[in-house]
Chains A and B, each alone.
Chain A
Amino acid sequence: MVKEEQGIKLTPEQTKRRRSRSVAIAVVLAALVALFYVVTIVKLGPGVIDRPL
């Protein structure tokens, strides 16, 4: 028998808005990854792959 889940139940509107916020957070995180990648290249330049072993 499947036990009914207890706790906070989101309304359909809350679920919809949470989804749009989640998408926005994902976009921001992806942008941050790209930003840190680009800044690393800018700061280190070609030296990023030219390092002593």
Chain B
Amino acid sequence: MSLVERQDTIGQNTAVWDGGMGSVSDYVALLKPRVMSLVIFTAFVGLMLAPGSVHPVLGAVAILCIAIGAGASGALNMWYDADIDEIMSRTRKRPIPAGKITRDEALAFGITLSIGSIVTLGLLVNWFAGAFLAFTIFFYVIIYTMWLKRSTPQNIVIGGAAGAFPPMVGWASVTGGVSLESFVLFLIIFMWTPPHFWALALFKSGDYRAAGVPMLPVVAGETSTRHHILAYSLLLAPIGIAPYFLGFATPVYGIASAALGLAFVALAVDVWRKREGDEARKACVRLFKFSIFYLFLLFALLLGESLIVGA
């Protein structure tokens, strides 16, 4: 918060405060609603796939808490990264760099929601899930945002775990624990994150370079990034099929995930081959967009199967 002393017309000293300008929609924007929607979806799939059952009201509470916890992480991320968000074109319009919300306000908002979501999940659902949500927020804010993001090109590889935990938290909300199946859901998102973000970083590397964020294309170069994208895509494709081999998905999922995995690898090969000019950029954009579709479809298939089989 910054206060500016000034004399008003009757010669009295009054302080002008530059905070308090955030509208409700600005605070909603702090929660990163688009990221939150992916978290809600994957956590819901984890919750639905878990063995046993949970009362629908408690299930809804669990998803709400996970969503708010993810939003709180987003707010704390924007609090810490306000300086680099101001530089990058992708993030320049966020509430803090746009001058609508001060850093202190974002920090208070993020901490309040973090504590609120953790305590509510713990009290109303179970404390294992609450503790797991706390760890997820800690991992995203402290490990990824404050430590890894600005110090290593492996930032999104390790930090990607934070985005991969929600289905495990959803699963834990039902079972009170973790299992191999929930770990596989984690692993799919964990292995998906690097090629997804590196494809983005290849066509936004100027942004990251300007902000001094050591993304792989900035530090190791674009060729090395293309090798990495291909390698991770080759690892991701079989992991995407794992739910079928582990017996918690049908052959329909097995065939569909294999086809989607092959398409993912084909697009990664395209990125690897095309290294110059507009064609290279288009290949990266194609892989980036397909990666979102890929993850959504895998989890939608798992959800659909659990609804049909469970019905």
- Contacts of A9 on B, CB cut-off 8 Å? 8, 14-16
Q: How far is the CA of A38 from the CA of B60 in the complex (A)?
A: 12
A20 pairs with B24, CB closer than 8 A? yes
Contact present for B57 and A38 (CB under 8 Å): yes
| Interface contact A14-B55, CB-CB below 8 Å | no
Chain B residues within an 8 Å CB radius of A8: 3, 14-17
The answer to whether residues A39 and B17 also contact, given A6-B12, A8-B3 and a CB cut-off of 8 A, is: no
Q: Are A21 and B22 in contact (CB under 8 A)?
A: yes
B26-55 interface with A by 8 A CB criterion: 27, 55
Contacts of A13 in B (CB 8 A): 21
Check if A7 is an interface residue, CB within 8 A of chain B. yes
The complex places the Cα of A17 from the Cα of B15 at a distance, in Å, of 18
CB–CB B55/A18 < 8 A:
no
Q: Could you give, for residues 7-36 of chain A, a 1 whenever the CB lies within 8 Å of some chain B CB and a 0 otherwise?
A: 111110110011011001000000000011
A42 at the interface (CB under 8 A from B): yes
**Cα distance A10–B21 in the bound complex, in angstroms:** 10
Let me know if B21 and A17 touch, CB within 8 A.
Answer: yes
- In the complex, the answer to whether A4 meets B20 with C-beta atoms within 8 Å is no
CB distance A7 to B20 under 8 Å?
A: no
> Which residues of the partner chain A approach B23 to less than 8 Å between Cβ atoms?
17, 20-21
B10 part of interface (Cβ distance < 8 Å)? yes
CB contact under 8 A between A39 and B16, given known A17-B21, A17-B23: no
Instruction: Give Cα A32–Cα B124 distance, bound, in whole angstroms.
Output: 12
Query: Is B124 in contact with A17, judged by CB distance below 8 angstroms?
Result: no
- Asked, given contacts A14-B21, A18-B20, A21-B24, whether A39 binds B15 with beta carbons under 8 Å apart, the answer is no
Contacts of A7 in B (CB 8 A): 14-15
Contact B12 A4 (CB under 8 A): yes
Residue pair B57, A42 in contact (C-beta under 8 Å): yes
A-side contacts of B297, CB under 8 Å = none
Complex interface: chain A residues within 8 A of B61 (CB): 35, 39
B8 nearest CB neighbor, chain A only: A9
**A20, closest chain B residue (CB):** B24
The 8 closest A-B pairs by CB, nearest first: A14-B20, A24-B24, A9-B14, A42-B57, A8-B15, A8-B17, A39-B124, A42-B55
